A and B are shown apart, each in its own frame.
Chain A
Amino acid sequence: MDALAVHEGAAGHEAHTESFVRHYIFSLDHKMIGKQYYLTTLLMAMVGGALAMLMRAHLGWPQNGTLDPGQYLAAATMHGTVMIFFFLTSILTGAFGNFLIPLMIGARDMAFPFLNMLSYWTLVPGVLVVLASFFVPGGPAGNGWTSYAPLSAVAKFSPGSGLGQTLWAISIMFVLFSSLFGSLNFLTTIINMRARGMSMGRLPLTLWGIFITAILAVLSFPVLTAAVVMLILDRTAGTSFFVPANLLVAGQVLGNKNGDALLWQHMFWFFGHPEVYILILTPMGIVSDVISTFSRKPIFGYKAMVLSISAIGFLSFLVWGHHMFVSGMSPLLGAAFLGSTIAIAVPSAIKTFNWCTTLWQGRIHFTTAMLFAIAFVSLFVTGGLSGIFLAAAPVDIYLHDTYFVIAHFHFVMAAAALFSIFAGTYYWFPKMFGRMMDERLGKIHFVFTFLGIYATFFPMHFLGFMGNSRRLYDTSTYPFLSHAGPIDVFISLSAFMLGAAQFVFIYNFFKSMLHGPVAEQNPWHANSLEWAAPSPPPHGNWGPSLPVVYRWPYDYSVPGAAQDYSPQWQAEPVAAVAAGPAHTAGPSPSGDEH
């Protein structure tokens, strides 16, 4: 078993040439695996985005019949499934986690490179299965990304409960295993492979986000795995874990069933709520690092940031019931979940204030990455405030499963995470590909994306107040929604603009990858350790000797220093050091810190 662990020595990392297959396909290199993840999940984001456009094309003009009801529900289900599991979860940990962890802690690779490769190659079959489910009889799953039982457990319910739902469950299993393998690697690597001097208290906040995320994944993914195994057994082996007694399907009572549909909701949301923090803790870290770098100021309240990330992670296991206020629960239990949910506002507010105070009086550089990071804070506040509405059970009973909820989680989770991914991409692209992205195109992309997000999702709050149910096929069904039509048209047009703006990003991404200006080693004058490696870093990252870390990653604008940044790998912050690629690795492991 020790053969699985990485070989630390520099020898073997240096001179050998790799075949095409070993380098680009079955790669063991964390950077290549990170890029594989990035491109795969980018493809899935386009699939999920296309489904959203289809939904909006229908919802804006329902009389045109762009989608029939079954297709509409399938599009909604698959949009959520693809975006949450195959895009956000997989890109944040798979792409950013894999690429950044060894570079930021000063290691040559992950603790278990083979497991890392396995993680990516477990995602790929999941992608293939979920894409294949579009082409089976009855179409893909149509019971929402939450796949509530018994709709998801009995194949005869609807077309969307058929083979597509089974394939949904199988593809989710693949994603869960892929993320779990990744998380085991991240935990072990961060705990045990840090460079000399890189204490936990000197980790960049991005890594704290990834670290807590990995803990959440290890604790919550197995619970959904358990639920999905039981769901697959219900669908294929005739068990009835989630199928209640006396269920009437197509005029027939299902016999011999004594299960509990609510059990699925409990198991799903015990996973589901930590999952939404899995989608936001890493973004919080990325945004902290970007904001600090481009404010040229130390992050405000580093300890408070770490503690609040940990507190949010801990609380995320105590709040799953707030998704089930209307599913039937004791009011006393509801009150408990209300309290624990509201409590999350405290660490979230600490983070928000710390971002604002980091920006305060900083010498702000409005790079594209910085714009996306600042916009992240805005989206997080907007979505966080509507979250406080929804946490209150009496309000939630009115707003549950309306467009208010759609607006809430698209701001706080989906768009916020997306913006951090953009911020991270514009920020680390030079390190990933050795070339700079086009800042002008980046700013065009930012403006239209930011306006597009608000124009698309903010009006949904009003639809929610009107009582527009989130899975409603056609608002003209109900007289009380007679005013919803124009709002839906506006939302759809905004969504099309938002969608079109993403082509600017994709063009910029691939154009810059091939033809962008060559990046320096440290183009943003940043402090964290990944910028000590060449752009892009070679196999093994660090040349003959590993870097040594002398300080935390936020020494910006140190009074008296010759330059406004003091990188983690430099022994003396005050001495004027010629900027440039001369100091790639720490000079000597003397251990002298000051």
Chain B
Amino acid sequence: MSTKLDAVTARAIETHRGGPGARRPSGPAGVGPGGRGDGPAASGPAVGTAVIGMIAALTAVTMLFVAFTTAYLARRQEPGWGALVMPPVLWLTTAILLASSGTLEWARRRIAAGDIRGLQRGLTATAWLGGAFVLGQIVAWRSLAAQGAYISSNQHSGFFYLLTGAHGAHLLGGLTALGVIVWKAHAGRYGVASHAGIGVFALYWHFMDLLWLYLFALLFWA
């Protein structure tokens, strides 16, 4: 009995030690100087780490809006949904937000070329455009209120304020981070080889841009 067991145990262990059919660690997760699984050498840049963290965070944001918009789509065919005239200013704010992604990318190219002045200008423009977008969303809210559509008026208006408000809150969070980055850019903290943090931030900002396009399409056409 016990010898049979030993054989089973030995086989299981053998498999894990590199015997026949061994599962050798392969790729960057295994041994060797890859980006991962190479502890002693991993004192270098933590950029990969920040990018992974940001992707995970954006996955969570995605699920938040999947929940909101699934509820929106499920409810919009039901009685008592209510009619709403979309404020035309939303076209303008959409253009502003798209432009802000453009200036952010321009700023990243400038710093990659070593142009710190260009970086500062691009980031500042992005911040102003982001601020203008938020103001534009408030103008849109005011124009809905002028229609008499408040958050509690009907289902449709409730969802409008919910979706734009949740997106706006995320954008304000991004603006706060952008404020720090602008300050760091002016303090000379970024250089040709040291601006990875801006790239991580750009992931977030462009994602907010895409998210808005999705919400915009939903509000206008769904």
Q: Please name the residue on chain B nearest to A552 by beta carbon.
A: B16
Q: Please name the residue on chain A nearest to B26 by beta carbon.
A: A199
Q: Could you mark each residue 19-54 of chain A with 1 if its beta carbon is under 8 Å from any beta carbon of chain B, else 0?
A: 000000000000000000000000000000000000
B interface: dominant SS: helix
B214 CB-CB contact with A under 8 Å: no
A139 to chain B, nearest CB (A): 27
Q: Please name the residue on chain B nearest to A267 by beta carbon.
A: B67
B91 to chain A, nearest CB (A): 26
Are B56 and A188 interface neighbours, CB within 8 A? yes
Residues of B in contact with A, size category? 35 or more
Residues of A within 8 A of B18 (CB): 593-594
Once bound together, how far apart are the Cα atoms of A303 and B15, in whole Å?
A: 11
Q: Please name the residue on chain A nearest to B54 by beta carbon.
A: A1
Once bound together, how far apart are the Cα atoms of A196 and B57, in whole Å?
A: 26
Are B13 and A593 interface neighbours, CB within 8 A? no
Are B31 and A4 interface neighbours, CB within 8 A? no
A137 to chain B, nearest CB (A): 24
Once bound together, how far apart are the Cα atoms of A239 and B82, in whole Å?
A: 13
Are B48 and A192 interface neighbours, CB within 8 A? yes
Residues of A within 8 A of B155 (CB): 240-241, 258-259
Once bound together, how far apart are the Cα atoms of A2 and B45, in whole Å?
A: 8
Are A200 and B52 interface neighbours, CB within 8 A? no
Are B39 and A106 interface neighbours, CB within 8 A? yes
Q: Which B residues from 15 to 61 make CB contacts under 8 A with A? A: 16-18, 23-26, 29-32, 35-50, 52-54, 56-57, 59-61
Are B32 and A591 interface neighbours, CB within 8 A? yes
Contact for A223 among B6, B29, B64, CB less than 8 A: B64
Once bound together, how far apart are the Cα atoms of A195 and B30, in whole Å?
A: 9
Are B37 and A199 interface neighbours, CB within 8 A? yes
B166 CB-CB contact with A under 8 Å: yes
Contact for B16 among A107, A259, A555, A589, CB less than 8 A: A555
Residues of B within 8 A of A226 (CB): 64, 67-68, 71
Are B29 and A220 interface neighbours, CB within 8 A? no
Given A6-B46, A230-B162, A240-B155, A180 and B37 contact (CB-CB distance below 8 Å)? no
Once bound together, how far apart are the Cα atoms of A490 and B158, in whole Å?
A: 51
Given A197-B25, A298-B9, A221 and B162 contact (CB-CB distance below 8 Å)? no
Given A195-B39, A263-B75, A589-B40, A221 and B53 contact (CB-CB distance below 8 Å)? no
Are B30 and A219 interface neighbours, CB within 8 A? no
Contact for B52 among A106, A187, A297, CB less than 8 A: A187
B151 CB-CB contact with A under 8 Å: yes
Q: Could you mark each residue 273-297 of chain A with 1 if its beta carbon is under 8 Å from any beta carbon of chain B, else 0?
A: 0000000000000000000000001
Which of these binds chain B: A322-330, A469-477, A496-504, A542-550?
A542-550
Are A559 and B75 interface neighbours, CB within 8 A? no
Contact for B63 among A202, A220, A241, CB less than 8 A: A220
Residues of A in contact with B, size category? 35 or more
Residues of B within 8 A of A547 (CB): 39
Once bound together, how far apart are the Cα atoms of A298 and B13, in whole Å?
A: 7
B197 CB-CB contact with A under 8 Å: yes
B196 to chain A, nearest CB (A): 5
Are A218 and B53 interface neighbours, CB within 8 A? no
Contact for A238 among B53, B57, B151, CB less than 8 A: B151
A564 to chain B, nearest CB (A): 11
B10 CB-CB contact with A under 8 Å: yes
Q: Which B residues from 76 to 110 make CB contacts under 8 A with A? A: 78-82
A260 CB-CB contact with B under 8 Å: yes
Contact for A218 among B59, B67, B198, CB less than 8 A: B59
Q: A residues touching B (Cβ–Cβ < 8 Å)?
A: 1-9, 106-107, 111-112, 115, 180, 183-185, 187-188, 191-202, 218-223, 225-227, 229-230, 233, 237-241, 245, 256, 258-260, 263, 267, 270, 297-298, 300, 302-303, 360-361, 545-548, 551-552, 554-555, 557-559, 573, 589, 591, 593-594
Q: B residues touching A (Cβ–Cβ < 8 Å)?
A: 1-2, 5-6, 9-10, 12-13, 16-18, 23-26, 29-32, 35-50, 52-54, 56-57, 59-64, 66-68, 71, 74-75, 78-82, 151-155, 158, 162, 166, 177, 181, 196-198, 200-201
**Which 3 A-B pairs have CB atoms at the shortest separation, nearest pair first?**
A258-B80, A199-B25, A238-B152
**Contacts A/B (CB < 8 Å), 16 sampled:** A1-B177, A8-B42, A188-B49, A188-B52, A196-B40, A197-B25, A197-B37, A218-B60, A218-B63, A222-B60, A222-B61, A259-B155, A361-B1, A546-B39, A559-B9, A573-B17
